[in-house]
Structure 1
């Protein structure tokens, strides 16, 4: 399999850059998981229904979509590093506001904080994936699943800390305030280590960053971009539905305690982390398409066990398979979207926007269905979307030397003839 990746780099600056991006992924993971792990407690504080909780979680998604739609333009103006600095700050301030909202408790203040949090998190998400893809090209080896593994390390830490905070009855506001302090400290450490991705493009590829907004928007006309987005959409549903609803489903429909629900969510994110670490070698050996299809099969089997078998031990095993199956969809989609460095920022932004539709439509959609068929029954929708991702997996195949040339079907602003 011939790809456009360069020879492995031994530059210490690239290694420091890698560590900096690892830290940004970790911060995003621990922050969002800290919130998710305390969802049952927030629901209890508000006395909210399942639908109301879905709408509350949807506020985070609305902010995320807004941040994603603006992200490629912000990155074009500021670069990925400064976008991560700005977005990370906004994300942490939003989480602080949401935490303060639990003191009253005030539904609308929490919602406002989550919207702000979503704007910052999603803009940071695109920027860190873009910087990670540029770092991966410079390093000359597969790294993207490891970046996402550090996001999973963050979610593991967030879920574990959340379970502990629940057990010792620490108020949600104090818990989230501590996480915000950790997050700011990590940003201060990481950002100076991250290089400008615009200086990493290989001149032999004829790669130039896009300058105009029309060129950035043109990626939405590319069939390959849209199909990669569909892969990420299905796998993001598989990942996000667990984050939004797994703990609540275990509490409400399997009769576990709040703390046990947080532990089951922690098992899910741990399985995702294992899948992402193992995915580096698996992807190098077997390629993206076979790995995506096997991952989707594991996700379907695991989620089916959780939904259809009324047993907490079986649900735990199913959660492990569900997490392994969902682990590689997002990082593979981001790598595939960034394969062409000429349009990497715009394509990563577009694919991430499509994927984040799972977080926009999913929470209220599953919450609405859950009012009628139960949360676990509503997750059947996720099974269908994982299957669709498996069908369109060939869109994420690795770029070959021939693919490095502009394609008239994928570059409407730069038409050329292919042999």
Structure 2
């Protein structure tokens, strides 16, 4: 008898990824307005964004073990509510310290739901005979695009930021609570956990760190594109501001399309090939941006860069979540956390290097990190995981 697929849980997970992308996107499009309302400088905002990142990392490390203890079915709706409540606060900030407190809450909520939804995605994927992780990450991108449309409409209509963020926060809370009933509990049954614990050692720390290191490299490269693609087109290639926007747009569209396609490709060639050849394609695409000072070539390069990166992170998160079902959340929190550090570090690293060398030359760093991922992609192979577990016994 064939076990029915948990389609409702899959759709519910799509919704949570979309909500998270929507919330983050709303914050991003309102950053200039919030900065003005709080009457702070760009440098102060930069410091507060680091606070947001640190709070998100803390939320991830709390959410991982909590998912293993209470189950994703309880944690994920609670994380969605926490994120929705936190979305109220940035629009109310009127000073640097009130904005700092708001971003601590928002960052913690974002980190919590990030690990909770990825951990639940692994649980749902286990019930399917094929990979489905990348499609969840594609829905995050869709949520961000929807936020950009909503933000443009509300800002254009002069709707107060506090009203927009509060209304969207309330929407996030309601949808999170309504969707929670369709989730799965990823904790193994007591008998299943006991039988699994006897013959199998926990995965080695070395393997977890390798997966985290690759996630760091790939998400650092993604962060570079997010913050520097348009600036490269404007400052290095000399394009107009409107034309420069197409540089990031080509990257973002290619990444979204690639994530929708990755699951089917991964089912055919496996996660190692997705990461290895995807990282190689990303390195080639960014190398085009570095060496050819032409906008059409740059647009092609950023598109290849986005397409190459699109499938790598979902494969890494899925591998981390499947290392040990008993501690899936905690293991994923480490890998997701390291990836998030890379996402934050990438733009800052390139910005620092750009003070000393041309911006396009600074892009050699993410190119090199993509090549490192090509070399170490083999750690995602099932036989590598098995070998690491034998060594750790």
TM-score (norm 1): 0.79
> Equivalent residue for 1:86?
78
Shift of 1:201: 9.5
Quick check: 2:34–2:91 contact (8 Å CA) kept in 1?
Answer: no
Aligned with 1:293 (options 267, 276, 284): 276
Identify the range of structure 1 (261-270 vs 30-39) with the bigger mean alpha-carbon deviation: 261-270
Shift of 1:158: 2.6
Cα deviations across residues 107-148 of structure 1 (Å, max 9, x unaligned)?
Answer: 443333223222111221112111111111122321111111
> Partners of 1:171 and 1:93 in 2: how far apart?
18
Aligned with 1:281 (options 241, 264, 278): 264
> Equivalent residue for 2:145?
156
Shift of 1:160: 4.1
> Equivalent residue for 1:10?
4
> Equivalent residue for 1:59?
51
Question: Is structure 2 residue 384 aligned with structure 1 residue 395?
Answer: no
> Partners of 1:247 and 1:364 in 2: how far apart?
16
How many correspondences in the alignment? 388
Shift of 1:208: 5.6
- Cα distance, 1:287–1:256 mapped onto 2, change above 3 Å: same
TM-score (norm 2): 0.84
> Equivalent residue for 1:382?
366
> Partners of 2:363 and 2:167 in 1: how far apart?
33
Alignment of 1:70-109 (within 5 A): 70-101=62-93, 104=94, 106-109=95-98
> Equivalent residue for 2:332?
348
- Which structure 1 segments of 5+ residues have no match? 1-6, 210-214
Shift of 1:85: 2.4
Shift of 1:175: 4.2
Question: Is structure 2 residue 214 aligned with structure 1 residue 231?
Answer: yes
Aligned with 1:323 (options 306, 319, 324): 306
Shift of 1:76: 3.1
Shift of 1:382: 2.1
> Partners of 2:49 and 2:275 in 1: how far apart?
28
> Equivalent residue for 2:26?
34
Aligned with 1:19 (options 7, 11, 20): 11
Shift of 1:235: 1.3
**CA RMSD in angstroms, aligned pairs only:** 3.5
- Which structure 2 segments of 5+ residues have no match? none
- Cα distance, 1:371–1:97 mapped onto 2, change above 3 Å: farther
- Cα distance, 1:25–1:111 mapped onto 2, change above 3 Å: same
- Cα distance, 1:244–1:83 mapped onto 2, change above 3 Å: farther
> Partners of 1:143 and 1:136 in 2: how far apart?
6
> Equivalent residue for 1:212?
none
- Cα distance, 1:223–1:375 mapped onto 2, change above 3 Å: same
> Partners of 2:231 and 2:34 in 1: how far apart?
11
> Equivalent residue for 2:252?
269
- Cα distance, 1:406–1:286 mapped onto 2, change above 3 Å: closer
> Equivalent residue for 1:409?
391
Identify the range of structure 1 (341-350 vs 165-174) with the bigger mean alpha-carbon deviation: 165-174
Quick check: 1:40–1:248 contact (8 Å CA) kept in 2?
Answer: no
**Secondary structure of the equivalent of 1:139?**
coil
- Cα distance, 1:76–1:222 mapped onto 2, change above 3 Å: same
> Partners of 1:8 and 1:26 in 2: how far apart?
30
> Partners of 1:180 and 1:241 in 2: how far apart?
29
